Structure 1
């Protein structure tokens, strides 16, 4: 069972459930956390509550493919994990050493360390949903998407759902100096999540998710990569445990778990590219790419 948000004919955000048969049922809640809280109050699991509500309801006549989907949750905070896959470690080493792959760096150390890399990624105002444009940073010449499985958490750090995340990244800025990481990761429309949230209780094995990333330019596929979450070096509970350690999180916090799909080193995103990130049993997160004027040029 997946949960989506869409914009109805009155331009109002509506929460809905999507069955594995692609049937869509509207739900009487304003957002995903409202559904979770209602289930807690009734002493039911979220899945049981949804099944109870849709049992006597008719599905929408409009198919899922024709709905105007919104970001599935307005996450108060989005955090992200780095160097959780071997492929990510290798890519970070390439950036930091100018291609000297035999050099040992701090990325090797964090890959093998007890403590994972966790950094702040986005706020609700900076996070976009399906079909909205991700922006290119104006002072970077080497930018890529980072397709990731993202965990939706409650305030106690429990995993209540899974969604798709795109952690847009500037490889040249991070490679120049690791202290520049916030600038390499955070800017307007640099984070996308969606199109749906798969209820955690409906996932038998979260390490069996299949990920695929495709990048299109002039309607031609120029990059495609695949991965599976079993390639993760760390477990999800371990990542969450470090996020909540001496830290307050909020209902609906999203934690991206790292990427194992990295485009070729000579590739960088361009204006009007399109990014598709697909994760099995969750859906496809589609975002066009747009360049934005630099602040200097905008003032002229």
Structure 2
């Protein structure tokens, strides 16, 4: 089952919807208090109903076109997340890229790649998250910025995996490369994060994520300037260990998003520019699309 959050075209009220092929059926129309997937997830759990079976009761009545909602800019992040966290150096390609930035042998990145404890860092608050299709923003003090495509977990407060979505951890490579202690500034800034467009619910019907591919395409002026793909099978960690360390002495709220790291890194001479168009695709989930704008002057 896939769900989205969106603004109703007429009322502009937040809706929770189930996506079936290209059609979107409003859950909120039938259960007005459900505008976020977590209450529905808890209800299905309490009733012992699988997501796919529970979805069937809502696939009735009028529907909307998912493509139209996307084109009209009405999609919202598929879960209201108060906190977005991320993991780093979970692929060999990421370790190599971080070492290239710092130009240090036996670096902290080599050590964390091999260590039992993973690298985890805070990425965004809800106010910093950009909806699918909306503009991510560059930092004013960075000259080397890249998207980081990541399979992202949506978690309950108890650490259960509610489902998966596509994440973009927009990052400044030069700021982190100057000094790893600058990581928060390289990662946390206005319009630095997006995830979506849908939430793929965790169920027995979903294939093993290790078989999924993550694809990144960047267009500039209608021309593809970077395109690559990585298998999630190259992911070095496990969901269980990342979640375990995230929740160690650290309560998390329902709907917390945990990005699992990137295995796709553009060449060292590449940096994003205003007007670039980023598409991240995981076939089982969908395509997260975000254009790029420059720094916001009013900040």
TM-score range, shorter chain: over 0.9
Task: Work out the CA distance in 2 between the residues paired with 1:128 and 1:46.
Answer: 27
**Match of residue 34 from structure 1:** 39
- Paired with 1:293 and 1:263, the residues of 2 have a C-alpha distance of 24
Give the superposition deviation at 1:18.
1.2
In structure 2, the residue matched to 1:14 is 15
- The aligned length equals 288
Q: Is this contact kept in 2: 1:35–1:46, CA < 8 A?
A: no
Match of 1:279 in 2: 282
How far apart, CA to CA, are the structure 2 residues paired with 1:222 and 1:58?
43
For 1:40-119, list aligned pairs within 5 A: 40-54=45-59, 57-58=60-61, 60=63, 62-67=64-69, 68-97=74-103, 103-119=105-121
Structure 2 distance, partners of 1:53, 1:11, is 21
Report what 1:143 is aligned to.
145
CA distance in structure 2 between the partners assigned to 1:173 and 1:292 by the alignment: 16
User: 3-state SS of the aligned residue for 2:210?
Assistant: coil
Structure 1 runs (4+) deviating above 6 angstroms are none
* Contact 2:22 2:67 survives alignment (8 Å): no
**Secondary structure at the counterpart of residue 271 of structure 2:** coil
2:171 aligns with one of 169, 174, 184: 169
Larger mean CA deviation between 6-15 and 149-158 belongs to: 6-15
SS at match of 2:168: strand
Structure 1 residue 51, shift from structure 2 partner: 2.1
Work out the CA distance in 2 between the residues paired with 1:53 and 1:136: 40
TM-superposed CA distance for 1:187, in Å, is 0.2
Distance 2:233 2:131 in 1: 26
Structure 2 Cα separation of the partners of residues 23 and 195 of structure 1: 14
Task: Return 39-48 or 252-261, whichever deviates more.
Answer: 39-48
User: Pick from 235, 245, 248: which aligns with 2:248?
Assistant: 245
- TM-score, with normalisation over the residues of structure 1? 0.92
**Aligned partners of 1:176 and 1:59: how far apart in 2?**
54
Q: Tell me whether 1:290 sits opposite 2:293 in the alignment.
A: yes
Instruction: State the secondary structure of the residue aligned to 1:47.
Output: helix
**1:197 alignment counterpart:** 199
In 2, Cα distance between equivalents of 1:135 and 1:211: 22
Separation in structure 1 between the aligned mates of residue 85 and residue 284 of structure 2, nearest angstrom? 23
The unaligned stretches of length 5 or more in structure 1 are: none
Unaligned runs of 5+ in 2: 29-33
Q: Is the Cα contact below 8 Å between 2:213 and 2:230 reproduced in 1?
A: yes
1:230 counterpart (230, 233, 251): 233
1:52 shift after superposition:
3.1
Q: Cα offset for 1:294?
A: 5.8
Distance (whole Å) between structure 2 residues aligned to residue 26 and residue 144 of structure 1: 36
Partner of 1:93, secondary structure, is helix
3-state SS of paired residue (2:140): coil
| 1:23 match | 23
Specify the alignment match of 2:213 in structure 1. 210
Instruction: Give the stretch that moved more between structures: 264-273 or 45-54.
Output: 45-54
Q: CA deviation at 1:78?
A: 0.4
